[in-house]
Amino acid sequence: MAYFLQQLINGLTLGAIYGLIALGYTMVYGIIGMINFAHGDVFMVGAFLSLISFVVLSQLGLNSAVLAIVVALLFSMGFAAVYGWTIERIAYRPLRGSFRLAPLISAIGVSIFLQNFVQLAQGARPKSVLPLFHGGFILYRADGFDVRLSYLQVVIMILTAVLMVAFTLLIQKTSLGRAQRACEQDRGMAALLGVNVDRTISLTFVIGAMLAAVAGLMFDLYYGVIDFFIGFLAGIQAFTAAVLGGIGSLPGAILGGLLIGLIQSFWSAYFSVEYKDVAVFVILVLVLIFRPSGLLGRPEIEKV
């Protein structure tokens, strides 16, 4: 029982990180109906930006862990926002009226570019991050096994929940959210009614990139090791989470991320770790067979 509870906590923490990345996928898809396959690499760039911030702050003699995290978060979110805006401006906007495969190929090209850019700039070797969070709680103890919940795990899960609620309210209650929903339904009609479609789409990419930067910082702190390839692996898992939960649904993205985190955690604990990704995709296929729109997604209705 104690081992099960520990894997449950680990799975929820991993799933929260996947969910943050999946939010960016689902927001972009909800507006323009396309997948930003460079989004995982924006997450990777955010992780490296956070690492650079920690290195610079340590050389400046900053000893406050909380202040260092806040500065790193603001720095990585700011630069990730620039990356998100640039990707939309270069890889998507010129091809928005083209056939649907063109922006997909363009996004894959941006993904390859970002991977190679970071590899050349930072090197191919993994980079380590010194732990900034220490301590936690012992929730349960049985047969010499302690079920631990670290302070960092609490922060990751609370932050994910807060961001999901915040962005749900942003889409439902704000003028930007109304513009996003209008663009989702009909971009042409939204433009005729005075919505600045280009600005709305750019802001959506920017918000998604900032969420990816938050996830990159959490990944830095939780795992302590990053390299230029983590964006591809995490991006595939987060995209799967968005599809599993129902792409276009913000709660679905978080739910899908949590489910994938739990599947990977429990499969690695009780079965062969090499097949944890196989288990994830088997579950995805089964869900899509019986519910093609995902767990919380709504089926698309074409107006004729």
CB 61 within 8 A of CB 135: no
Containing 23, the helix (H) or strand (E) segment is: helix 2-32
Looking at the domain assignment, is residue 106 inside a domain?
Answer: yes
Looking at the domain assignment, is residue 137 inside a domain?
Answer: yes
Domain encompassing residue 250: 2-290
Phi-psi map region of 125: left, alpha, beta (phi>0 left; psi -120 to 50 alpha): beta
Whether residue 163 has pLDDT greater than 60: yes
Amino acid 113: pLDDT: 94
CB 50 within 8 A of CB 215: no
Mean pLDDT of the chain: 88
Containing 234, the helix (H) or strand (E) segment is: helix 230-245
Amino acid 210: pLDDT: 93
Amino acid 302: pLDDT: 54
Query: In this predicted model, what pLDDT tens digit does every residue of 213-248 receive, in sequence order?
Result: 999 999 999 999 999 999 988 888 999 999 999 888
Looking at the domain assignment, is residue 281 inside a domain?
Answer: yes
Q: Total structural domains in the chain?
A: 1
Looking at the domain assignment, is residue 239 inside a domain?
Answer: yes
Looking at the domain assignment, is residue 301 inside a domain?
Answer: no
Query: In this predicted model, what pLDDT tens digit does every residue of 196-207 receive, in sequence order?
Result: 999 999 999 999
Looking at the domain assignment, is residue 298 inside a domain?
Answer: no
Looking at the domain assignment, is residue 302 inside a domain?
Answer: no
Looking at the domain assignment, is residue 304 inside a domain?
Answer: no
Query: In this predicted model, what pLDDT tens digit does every residue of 76-92 receive, in sequence order?
Result: 999 999 999 999 999 88
Residue 133 or 115, more confident: 115
Residue type (1 letter), 155 = V
The DSSP string of 66-87 is HHHHHHHHHHHHHHHHHHHHHH
**What are the residues facing 148 on neighbouring strands?**
138
Please, what is the end-to-end C-alpha distance for the chain in angstroms?
55
- CATH number of the domain where residue 97 is located: 1.10.3470
Q: What is the mean pLDDT of residues 100-126?
A: 90
Strands (E), the chain: 127-128, 136-142, 145-150, 225-226
